[in-house]
Each structure stands twice: as structure tokens, then as C-alpha cells.
Structure 1
Amino acid sequence: MDYNMTSFYTFVLLVLFLSSLNLVSSRHRKLSYGGDNGDLVTNLPGQPPVDFQHYAGYVTVNETNGRALFYWFFEAMTKPEEKPLVLWLNGGPGCSSVGYGATQEIGPFLVDTDGKGIKFNNFSWNKEANMLFLESPIGVGFSYSNTTSEYAQLGDDFTGKYVPELAELIIDRNNNSSLHIDLKGILLGNPETSYGEDWLGVVDYAWSHAVISDETYKKIRRSCDFNSSDPWKNEECTQGVNEVLKQYNEIDINDIFNGWTQSKRSVIPIYKKLISVGLRIWLYSGDTDGRVPVLSTRYSLSILDLPITKQWSPWYNEKEVSGWYQEYEGLTFATFRGAGHAVPCFKPSNSLTFFTSFLLGESPPSTR
């Protein structure tokens, strides 16, 4: 299949970690999640040479209404039949998982900064896992419905859920052995905490979807006091924010998501439920992320009232302090030193090391 990728824009990382058994096929068998060898990507313009295969196409989820979701699947670079399957969902709601996830953060082919070509990502997460990027719900990226009235029904229930609600749905449905999915854990980046003290979910705001330059970002961080009652207190701050908003206005994020119909005010009860069944839960944030501050996430985590099993400690990558982490009974929270909102864009090597530890069920590296 010839497939010409273009760049999209999105933020917020959501990852589901599942067992590879019965979910990832070898390259010679039909892919059990819906694609087949007809979805094999054989001619991606400008693609660097690689030894693994990847597939892209549609999974029809409702034949009657013509509802179909677009996916891009990358086999692990080595021994894919032995590696786990990781489902990546970008949040928003309304953002493309192909956009930042696959082509700007952790996929093997990254879009060049000029948007005219692609390059190989030396820190791609498919070094350690089979990676499935899904554009959900309809209206996101290439996902669509032939029944236009469905676009007015979008919400948490209609998608098939975002993490952690999807994790809860899988746990509940696993009571039926015929539907069993061997879910091992969830990994969430930038858990949003702005909806009140009892809210810990994954939601993003408009201006953080924009792709901003380092110069603009530094201008905002330097001149905007986000802790004050009037963060836009000087002209330089206002100019910086306006630059971001201007870029956002040029980005195609569908207005249909302004009418998101179902959304829980708090998912704290879901976290408690997932912890009670022993699901592995890791959260992480860049420590310079102005949209989702580390302290805000820590405050929300305190509401769970979990016993602390390991106090704040540094974790390392390439013999340098990469960030700090704290382990709770049933949950781990980590920071990335010097990283902003889309952590893998800032710290690709560190992110891969962190991801590998998560897959192995080990703490982040605690020695140099």
C-alpha cells in the first residue's frame, strides 16, 4: 500500500501496555486486530531503510453507520512475536495519535522540522514493543463516520474510552473469558489536574496543542508568572502567548470537540479501582511543563491517600540525573528534568529508558 504521511498536531500521552499473546501476529499471518497484509506499508515516501514491517489502514467499528478508525502499527524492531503490544492514544480530546505520537515523539519515523521529509528515530519505542497508534474517536486525523449525526454524540463513552477509563472498561469486560485482554499496565504522560482538587484525568487545552519554538517557550516561561492572579502581567508575556495562539488558530483541530457530551468530573475512583486489582500504573511529567505543573499532579495524587513505599529519589539516564520519582503502593510518579509538555520531544533517550523500565516492571534506573 502506498501511503503518504502528513504532519498533524496533538498533545498528551496515553499508553496501554498489553500482553503480546493473541494480539500481535508474526509478519506472515493475518493481523488479529483488524488489518491484514493488504495494509502493509510498502512505499512510504522518503522512508529510511528498516528491517521491521509496519501497517496502516482502517478498522471498521460500525458497519451500519460507516464508522472507521485509522491505525498505524509498527512491529518491534527485533523478535516482534515475543514483545508486548502497546496502544498509544493521544488525548485532547480531538488530537491525532499519528501526529505527535507516531511522527513527532516516539515512532520510528519522525517528521523533519521543515515538514518536508521524515527521518529515523534512534529512540523509537518500537525498539522495545510493538506499537499501535490509533486515531480515536471519529473526526480525529483520518478516522471518520459516514453518519454525520454521530459527530454530535462524541464523548468519553462514544470513543471506546480514553485511558484510564479504557483500562477500567477492559478490567470489567475481562469477566467474560471470551473477551479477555491481558492488560498489564497503563502509562500516562502529563496527567491533567486543572479541574479541581479531586480530579486526575487526561485532558488538554487549546494553546498547548500548538507547536512552539524554543524561543517562544522561553519567552513565556521567563515573562509569565503562572502563580500570580494576573499571569499576563507584561507585554512580553502577552506577545509570547499570542504567538502560540496564532499558531493554534492555523492548526486543524476540529470544532466538533467543543461539544464533548460525556465526561467525568473525577476519575479518582477509577484509579482506586485499577490499583485494587493490581494494575501497573505509572504517571510522568516534564518538570518545566507550564500547562500541567508537577506540583498540581502531586497534589491530586495526595487525594488517593496511598502509602509511600519509596520517597522522592533521582533516576538516571546516561550517568546523569534524568528526573525524580516517588513510588506509592500501586502507583509510580516520575518527573523528567528539563522537559516540557511533550516529554519525548525534549528527552528522547531518557523517555526510551523510562519506557523500558515500565515494560520490565522495574523502577526507573536509580544508579548512575
Structure 2
Amino acid sequence: MGVFSSSLFLPLLLFFCYYSSIIESSETDNDFVKQQEADRVFSLPGQPPVKFKQYAGYVTVNDTHGRALFYWFFEATHDVATKPLVLWLNGGECLTGDTDGRVPVTSTRYTLNKLGLKTVHEWSPWYHHKQVGGWTIIYEGLTFVTIRGAGHEVPTFAPGQALQLLAQFLADQDLPSAAF
């Protein structure tokens, strides 16, 4: 017989497994709380004080290619159980419809110019089924894409172009620069 009697071995093994899971769980919970607090937005320029919690940060989509989605999350202030969960995500590519009345292309272009980013590739069309799908300009660290003929809710106005843009982005492929 070894150091432990067989009648004590199983209870000790179960105790150590349980204890280690508690420690690991508390470390994971602690990491989660730390990340949550790091992502919390306490105030924004020009925003009056608010009574709800808001969070912003990045969700990694593809480690290999460095792809992440930016998220912005607001907690409901009342009736939490009945409120839908809404999570706003935005990928590395900034997109807008070129007939968007809420966020006009001209305003976005003005804002991008104010950032002073280096232009890597000038404005050029991208194609969807042998038609111009929109236009794109590539800056250092940011790609701006418009969707031809779409308004603020791009998938409603141009679902085919929106799907192509999303699929190309997730596959880490450039948008077609020639009619096909």
C-alpha cells in the first residue's frame, strides 16, 4: 500500500479538484472584473453626467491578422429583464452609405482629414457584381468605405453590398477594385 490509503485518496483528490476550481474561478472572475472596469466609460467630452453605466473597448475577432471589433455597450437603467440587449460593434473599416443623411460622407471625410492620418491609397471605386459598389480610401491604420446608394442603415438599403463588405472584411481580403 502506498502513502495514502485507498479510502482517503478519493476524498482528498476531490477536495483538491474542488479547491483548485474555486481558486481558478475566482482568478478568472477577478480578471473579468478588472477588464470590465478598464473598459468602463465614466464621461465623454460634451456628454452631461449620466446615471447609467457604459463600456467601450475591443473584442478580438482574429489574433493572427490583428482583427478586432470596437464595441460600445450601455446598461439599461430600469426593467433590465424586459429590455433587449443592444451591443454596438464597429469593425476596423469605417463604413457609411453615400446618401446617409444622419452621418453624411462629407462630415466623415472632414473628420478624417482633421485626424491627419497618412493616406496609403487614394479614393477609388470598389465593385459589386460589375457595378460600382461604393468608394474607399485607405489611411494608415484605417480604411474608410462608402456604400453607393445606401443611407444610414446600409443593410436595409444595399444588403448585397453590405454582405460583400462584411465577408471581405472577415476574410481579411480587399474589396474588388475591378468589375468582375
Partner of residue 316 from structure 1, selected from 127, 132, 147: 127
8 A Cα contact 1:187 1:282, kept in partner: no
**What is aligned with 1:286?**
97
* Higher strand fraction (1 or 2): 2
Partner of residue 184 from structure 1, selected from 64, 67, 70: 67
8 A Cα contact 1:315 1:323, kept in partner: yes
Partner of residue 110 from structure 2, selected from 299, 318, 341: 299
8 A Cα contact 1:285 1:341, kept in partner: yes
**What is aligned with 2:156?**
345
Report Cα offsets for 1:274-316 as digits up to 9, x if no partner. Answer: xxxxxx7210100111111001011111122111111000001
Q: Distance in 1 between matches of 2:77 and 2:132?
A: 41
Gaps of 5+ in 1: 1-60, 63-151, 172-180, 189-201, 203-253, 257-279
Q: Residues 16-27 of structure 1: matches in 2 within 5 Å?
A: none
**What is aligned with 1:153?**
51
Report Cα offsets for 1:192-224 as digits up to 9, x if no partner. Answer: xxxxxxxxxx8xxxxxxxxxxxxxxxxxxxxxx
Q: Residues 1-368 of structure 1: matches in 2 within 5 Å?
A: 153-154=51-52, 158-159=53-54, 161=55, 165-167=56-58, 182=63, 184-186=67-69, 281-368=92-179
Q: CA deviation at 1:367?
A: 1.2
Q: Distance in 2 between matches of 1:255 and 1:187?
A: 23
Give me the identity figure in percent. 41
Which residue identity lines up with residue 185 of structure 1 in the other structure? Answer: A
Report Cα offsets for 1:241-298 as digits up to 9, x if no partner. Answer: xxxxxxxxxxxxx997xxxxxxxxxxxxxxxxxxxxxxx7210100111111001011
Gaps of 5+ in 2: 1-31, 34-49, 79-90
CA RMSD of aligned residues (A): 3.0
Structure showing greater radius of gyration is 2
Which residue identity lines up with residue 315 of structure 1 in the other structure? Answer: W
Q: Distance in 1 between matches of 2:92 and 2:51?
A: 30
8 A Cα contact 1:186 1:282, kept in partner: no
Q: Distance in 2 between matches of 1:296 and 1:308?
A: 18
**Structure having greater relative contact order (Cα 8 Å, sep ≥ 6):** 1
8 A Cα contact 2:168 2:175, kept in partner: yes
TM-score (norm: length of structure 1): 0.28
Secondary structure of the residue aligned to 2:169 is: helix
TM-score (norm: length of structure 2): 0.55
8 A Cα contact 1:310 1:327, kept in partner: yes
Q: CA deviation at 1:187?
A: 7.0
* Higher helix fraction (1 or 2): 2
Matched residue pairs, number? Answer: 114
